[in-house]
Amino acid sequence: MGFFLETLIGGLMAGMLYSLVALGFVLIFKASGVFNFAQGAMVLFAALAMARFAEWIPGWFGLEGSYLGTAAAFVVAGALMFVVAWLIERLVLRHLVNQEGATLLMATLGIAYVLEGIGSTLFGNDIYKIDVGMPKDPVFLFEEVFPGGLLINKEDFIAALIAAVLVGLLTLFFQKTTTGRALRAVADDHQAAQSIGIPLNRIWVIVWCVAGLVALVAGVIWGSKLGVQFSLSTVALRALPVVILGGLTSVPGAILGGLIIGVGEKLSEVYLGPMVGGGIEIWFAYVLALVVLLFRPQGLFGEKIIDRV
């Protein structure tokens, strides 16, 4: 029982991080109808910026060994992500208003490659460290109930907590603010939103800025766990089954989808993996998502699409 609970908790905590990355996809899709394939590259770019600024800024301003340097690096990396968002809107999206979804998707694919290339040119190709003081050692609870105790990874726990807070804040932003409502209006129909005076370009800049911020937080969390390196861009692939499962237009869907995928892949690896040789968790997540699609093509929480013919 203890082992099952450990796997379950581990899956939930991993799932919360997937939700965070999936949220980046959902935000941009909701506001602009664009499936942003560059989300993974944004995570990598943001993490690289954070890691290198955390290295450079203390040296420039004599802040070595102080968390002030790390905080300053976070602010500068955040500002850089805003610049990236502005440039994406200015140079790419502005010219693609009212184009087919597939065109926009391909454009984001291009953005992904450009960001990866510029990221490694500006910040280097090595493994970089992000030290935000996350504890690395585990804690064992209920040792009297379960033999060996119930293992909780403190770092994963804190990361999941941060992700949960951010997800909560973004949900509020979308549901309760004027800008959030404007974002949703733009997602429904570009032309209709423009006709009632919603500034499309500004909305797109805002939403890409928010997605950039989400990418930065995800990058810091994953970078602190794994070191900042090229593989971070593949983290986005972990979020794809989440958005398939949860639906591309639903914030709660991204959250619940993340948790289901996180738990599903860990339990499948541990309990089904040994029967088929192991190493199944990545593709099993997609199996889970595709099974849902069989019954609910719009995902668990996605909006039902009805076209009149």
Partner 1 sequence: MNLRKLALTASLGAFMLSAIASTSAVAATAKEQFFPVLVTRTGPIAPNATPWANGFIDYLKLVNTKGGINGVKTVFEECETGYATDRIVECYERLKGMHGGATAFQPLSTGGTFALTEKAPIDKIPLITAGYGRSESQNGAVFTWNFPLLGTYWVGSDVAIQYIAKKLGGVANLKGKKIALVYHDSPYGKEAIPVLEELSKKYGYSVQLLPVAAPGVEQKATWLQIRQNRPDFVLLSGWGVMNLTALREAQATGYPRDKMLGNWWSGAEPDVADVGEGAKGYSALTLQHGAERNSKVVKDILAALYAKGQGTGPKEDVGSVLYMRGVLSAMLGVEGVRKAQERYGKGKVMTGEQVRWGLENLDLDQKTLDAMGFAGVMRPVQTSCLDHMGSSWVRVHTWNGKNWEFPSQDWYQADANTLRPMVMLASGKYAEEKKLKPRTPEECNK
Does the footprint of partner 1 cover residue 151 (CB under 8 A)? yes
Does the footprint of partner 1 cover residue 153 (CB under 8 A)? yes
Does the footprint of partner 1 cover residue 52 (CB under 8 A)? no
Among 99, 120, 171, 298, binds partner 1 (CB under 8 A): 120
Using CB under 8 A as the binding criterion, the count of chain residues that bind partner 1 stands at 41
CB of 55 to partner 1, least distance (A): 13
Among 273, 286, 287, 298, binds partner 1 (CB under 8 A): 273
Residue 91's φ and ψ, nearest 5 degrees, are -95, -25
Does the footprint of partner 1 cover residue 143 (CB under 8 A)? no
Per CB under 8 A, which region of 55-63, 195-203, 273-281, 289-297 contacts partner 1? 273-281
Does the footprint of partner 1 cover residue 272 (CB under 8 A)? no
- Of 30 and 238, the one with the shorter C-beta distance to partner 1 is 238
CB of 226 to partner 1, least distance (A): 6
CB of 41 to partner 1, least distance (A): 13
Nearest to 273 by CA among 257, 287, 260: 287
Per CB under 8 A, which region of 2-10, 69-77, 160-168, 252-260 contacts partner 1? 2-10
CB of 270 to partner 1, least distance (A): 5
Chain residues binding partner 1 by CB under 8 A are: 3, 6-7, 10-11, 14, 120, 125-127, 129, 136-138, 140, 148, 151, 153, 155-156, 225-227, 229-232, 234-235, 238, 265-266, 269-270, 273, 277-279, 281-283
